Amino acid sequence: QVQPVESGGGSVQAGGSLRLSCATSTSGYDLSRNCITWFRQGSGKEREAVAAIGTGTDETTSTSYADSVKGRFTISRDAAKNVVYLQMNNLKPEDTDMYYCAAFPSFAVLRDGGYCYSNGQGTFWGRGTQVTVSS
């Protein structure tokens, strides 16, 4: 079973930093291959992919980011601890949102723009962690 749990959200001033954590289950889940995506969504807004880490079509582990966060956010994975991180630097008020971790099935692949692709099949969602950035 894969049950993502997010943590690390909080309230910061513009220009500050936060590190989000996504803890994932190892049961029935290949940490060295499977794709993980961080999404965010505000009230009344559509869900937006932020960053992803996983295996591309060439079977190589890589990362992908939304244009809005490139150069500011970094996604990484610690397989030994079963944790995926999202380091967020130089935060802006526009980054204020709920942030969600999503774990994808073994056949998912990494795509440009900061997300994993699986034809909508077998995605496991966390409950989210709130990030608030003030001016």
> CB count, 10 Å around CB of 20?
24
Rg value, the chain, Cα: 14
Token pair for residue 116?
């994993």
Divide the 135 residues of the chain into consecutive groups of 10 and give the mean pLDDT of each group.
88 98 73 84 91 78 93 91 93 97 87 89 91 97
The rounded distance, in Å, linking the Cα atoms of 85 and 25 is 15
Say if CB 84 and CB 76 are below 8 A apart.
Answer: yes
CB 22 within 8 A of CB 84: yes
